[in-house]
Amino acid sequence: QKEVEQNSGPLSVPEGAIASLNCTYSDRGSQSFFWYRQYSGKSPELIMFIYSNGDKEDGRFTAQLNKASQYVSLLIRDSQPSDSATYLCAAYMDTGRRALTFGSGTRLQVQP
Amino acid sequence: DVKVTQSSRYLVKRTGEKVFLECVQDMDHENMFWYRQDPGLGLRLIYFSYDVKMKEKGDIPEGYSVSREKKERFSLILESASTNQTSMYLCASSLSKNYGYTFGSGTRLTVV
């Protein structure tokens, strides 16, 4: 079982809609969670992080964390074609290897 | 902005060659990481370092070694390149262990 799981997609949404990207993790010791965006041929860039249960909003992005269900999500409101990219979820544990574990990513396509 | 610079964007090497991938960060970060990224497999951790002259193995260290003689520089060494090491190599740094990482632009290595 992979430690951080994401649906590979593609997830296709129309422009202006809400895109919902989901991630589950297997280790209950995971403490911090990160969402990265990666455009084709580029390196990942950090867009959101969340440490506590609940929602965290930043502009059009909302990260949601539910530690009881071991579930992290990223909502993108008013999706734009420029949001088309692969979104990587990552988790950090302060035990074990003490480095981020990444999911394989979900490819998002926003249709104009 | 934190800059993480990888010395080469594209490299082509022959099987059996010793290959050096260089990474330099300019923000005095303690922590540095090497990942490789392959389609369908996501980012996999090769080695990381939390201090000068310190290194820890990640998930796939076989066939690789690292060097961190100075805080700002973290080098990945392929002792004897093989075709299954053809990949995108990503270097990252972070201020703290559970902070988000800043990635370099990546080195696409092809071993022929």
Indicate yes or no: CB of B101 within 8 angstroms of CB of A100. Answer: yes
B15 compared with A93, residue with greater pLDDT: B15
Of A43, A49, A104, the CB nearest to B104: A43
Which residue on chain A is closest to B93 by alpha carbon?
A99
pLDDT class of B53 with cuts at 50, 70, 90: confident
What's the whole-number mean pLDDT along residues B21-40? 94
Dist CA B6 CA B91 (whole Å): 7
pLDDT class of B2 with cuts at 50, 70, 90: low
Three-class secondary structure of residue B83 per DSSP:
helix
Shortest CA gap B16–chain A (Å): 27
Which residues of chain A register pLDDT less than 70?
1-2, 96
Query: A102 touching B, CB under 8 A?
Result: yes
3-state secondary structure A32-87: EEEEEEECCCCCCEEEEEECCCEEEEECCEEEEEECCCCEEEEEECCCCHHHCEEE
